[in-house]
Amino acid sequence: MPRSVLMEELDAFTYREAIADGAPVIIPVGSIEQHGPHLPLNTDVILSKAMSTRLAGVIGGLVAAPVVYGYKSQQRSGGGNHLGGTTSLDATTLISIARTLTLEFARHGAHRLIFLNGHFENYQFLYEGIEQATAELARRGQDVSAILLSYWDFVDEDTIEEIYSGSFPGWDVEHGGVLETSLMLHLHPNLVRLERVMDLPAAQLPRYDILPVRAELTPASGCLSSAKSASEAAGQLLLERTSKALAEAISAELAAQ
């Protein structure tokens, strides 16, 4: 029986052996955030873990238990932290989590870490925590490096055109829309309720943030674009091409280190 790539499913001895053999550790990072009436609150966790699992299979890595909570949803990228169900961390907490996990996996003996992000707002705070930890480890003379990425950065223009047929609304409003819904239809169709999709126009938001948030600027769905044209076939295409591009890039980077 092949060994699971999921750290949470391994016994401690098997895990330690894999780390000693040089397995990179991939840490999926998501959020608990509303994704409209048709997707579950843990969509970002599910998708980052799925991408991490496929990557681990290619590079011989291990997938750590995911970071479930993320930084505060923002109105122009996630509908806003004011919407019920969204449960968020503040910046200092997420920075501390990223720093602590980097130091912990280094303590286990891991030398190569990959933080695979699935929630837009997380990125800079993950960067800060990882940078603090790798700088500290370097001062100690420990050879530990980390890669930070968001999976949607590996969706190429041809795939976007094939799925959206010229109607791509832009990444800034692709929250609860075609991409996430299609991926979920392919990976976990039982968790998607297409009949509840609210087919509303893409959000028209200012090019600046307003605080306190003006709730009326967020569409009633909580989504920033419509998922009406989402499909399982599009999800399969997205998963295959995105994970392939991601694996090629990370394999090349690890080989160069």
Q: What is the pLDDT of residues 187-223, one digit of tens each?
A: 999 999 999 999 999 999 999 999 999 999 999 999 9
Catalytic positions = 33, 35, 44, 119, 121, 175, 180
Which pLDDT belongs to residue 78?
96
Contact between 62 and 8 under an 8 Å Cβ cutoff? The reply is no
pLDDT tens string 42-92: 999 999 999 999 999 999 999 999 999 999 999 999 999 999 999 999 999
Identify the CA nearest to 28 among candidates 2, 4, 56.
Answer: 56
Task: Please check the confidence at residue 1 and state whether its pLDDT lies above 80.
Answer: no
Residue 88 three-state SS: strand
Task: Please check the confidence at residue 250 and state whether its pLDDT lies above 90.
Answer: yes
Which pLDDT belongs to residue 3?
85
Cα 257–114–240 angle (5° rounding)?
100
Which pLDDT belongs to residue 172?
83
pLDDT tens string 108-137: 999 999 999 999 999 999 999 999 999 999
Contact between 73 and 31 under an 8 Å Cβ cutoff? The reply is yes
Which pLDDT belongs to residue 94?
98
